[in-house]
Amino acid sequence: MVEMMREVIQSFSVPFEYPVYFGRDLLALDNDLLARTIGRLEPGRRHRVQVFIDSGVLATNPGVADCVTAYFDAHGDAVELVDAPESVAGGEQAKNSRDATEQVMESIADHHLCRQSYVVAIGGGSALDIVGLAASLVHRGVRLVRMPSTVLSQGDSGVGVKTGIDAYGMKNFAGTFAPPDSVLIDYHFLRTLPWSYWIGGVSEAFKVAMIRDAAFFDFLCENAEALGKRDELVIESVVERSALLHLEHIRSAGDPFEFGKARPLDFGHWSAHRLEVLSGYELGHGQAVAVGIALDSFYAWRAGRIDEQTFDKILSAFERCGLPIWVRLLDRRGSDGCREVLRGLEEFREHLGGELTVTLPSPIGQGAEVHTMDEAVIEEGIEFLGARVRGS
């Protein structure tokens, strides 16, 4: 006889809510937004705060640490800075090992932050991923305020719910889903950002526009030259529109923690992640995504999902703003003679679980999911893009 099993279904949901602000001069002494945001859950309570700043931001903004200290002094009735702001290694290389994440955790331990204390992270996507991972692990989660400092982190990663570092030869292999307590976007940080990261971040705007917002795609194409020339007003509207589209996706696609029901906004990313690893992380994420978009756009054109004119419009916009459409690494072959980039398809499937799912524009402004990719067409795309770059 089969024994009866007792089954109890445990079910609950946890609401998440975080404000995202867009502006300038957020560290000006008379701007109380940051202090107010930290106190928003328990007004009147004086919270302990530890600040970590991306080493690249510190190197190019020499006064920024003093500015943060002065800010917290000026708002000392509402917030207590536990120590001078600390440097956290910036850039993708810092995500390659656990060192930076462990340093942040150790420092939080040394300063005895509790679960209701705050960590403020100022930096690019890599530094935010590192501090975010550390903050999400300490005490199983310390509150985190993000102040993204790059085009990519302001328009994409900084407003999202993920953290992560690279491990075992795979990008973002170790990470957590950990929504921030709040996000403060200060456009002034972009002034010191090296050009390659400035334009690299624009590729994520193209990504989301091409599968979500055709009018935004047209805006990006029309302003390609201005973006390449660091037009501040244009980049601010690109950052805001991109951030809003990413926020909307997380909020309304029904699967913010990517359990499988909805896809992350990862058009162009299967090859991008592989190219980053193949380059030893010399190729920036934004540049890799641009190449990935160019390649998957070729695929979408060949599959009849976008027309030739649209495909050419994409490539021309990238060329005018300074984003790459092809890199030599695409031609690298393994000992079996196969192109190494193609392994990215299987790694991508494994990272997200389930069957392979690649999003393609179909048409521009709408994404369609495909579950098989014809490697011969990808090869053809690599040849096509290479020939266009060589002018042959």
Ligand X SMILES: NC(=O)c1ccc[n+]([C@@H]2O[C@H](COP(=O)([O-])OP(=O)(O)OC[C@H]3O[C@@H](n4cnc5c(N)ncnc54)[C@H](O)[C@@H]3O)[C@@H](O)[C@H]2O)c1
Residues within the interface to ligand X (CB under 6 A): 54-57, 60, 90-92, 95, 123-127, 129, 149-150, 152-153, 156-157, 160, 162-164, 172, 189, 192-193, 197, 200-201, 285-286
* Whether the Cβ atoms of residue 156 and residue 242 lie closer than 8 Å to each other: yes
Report, in Å, the least distance between residue 87 CB and ligand X. Answer: 10
By DSSP bridging, strand 143-148 and strand 118-123 are parallel
Give me the count of residues in the chain.
392
Q: Taking the C-alpha atoms of 83, 87, 92 and 94 in order, what is their torsion angle to the nearest 10 degrees?
A: -90
Q: Is the dihedral of CA 112, 117, 122, 126 positive or negative?
A: positive
Q: Which residue in the shown chain puts its C-beta closest to ligand X?
A: 56
Query: Which C-beta is closer to ligand X: that of 76 or that of 194?
Result: 194
Report, in Å, the least distance between residue 197 CB and ligand X. Answer: 5
Report, in Å, the least distance between residue 288 CB and ligand X. Answer: 9
Query: Which C-beta is closer to ligand X: that of 107 or that of 157?
Result: 157
Element (H, E) at 217: helix 214-222
Cα-based distances in Å from 370 to 261, 265, 300, 306: 15, 14, 10, 14
Q: Quote helix, strand, coil % in the chain, to nearest 5.
A: 50, 15, 35
Report, in Å, the least distance between residue 93 CB and ligand X. Answer: 8
Query: Which C-beta is closer to ligand X: that of 204 or that of 384?
Result: 204
How many helices and strands, by DSSP H and E, does the chain display?
Answer: 15, 11
Query: Which C-beta is closer to ligand X: that of 293 or that of 306?
Result: 293
* Whether the Cβ atoms of residue 118 and residue 50 lie closer than 8 Å to each other: yes
215: Cα within 13 Å, side-chain hemisphere: 2
Query: Which C-beta is closer to ligand X: that of 105 or that of 152?
Result: 152
* Whether the Cβ atoms of residue 145 and residue 112 lie closer than 8 Å to each other: no
Report, in Å, the least distance between residue 264 CB and ligand X. Answer: 8
Report, in Å, the least distance between residue 89 CB and ligand X. Answer: 8
Query: Which C-beta is closer to ligand X: that of 196 or that of 316?
Result: 196
Could you tell me the two tokens for 256? Answer: 């913010």
Query: Which C-beta is closer to ligand X: that of 197 or that of 318?
Result: 197
Could you tell me the two tokens for 83? Answer: 């120590």
Report, in Å, the least distance between residue 282 CB and ligand X. Answer: 12
Residues 268 and 63: their CA atoms lie apart, in Å, by 38
Query: Which C-beta is closer to ligand X: that of 39 or that of 322?
Result: 322
| 3-class state of residue 53 by DSSP | strand
Closest CA to 265 of 148, 152, 167: 152
Report, in Å, the least distance between residue 380 CB and ligand X. Answer: 28
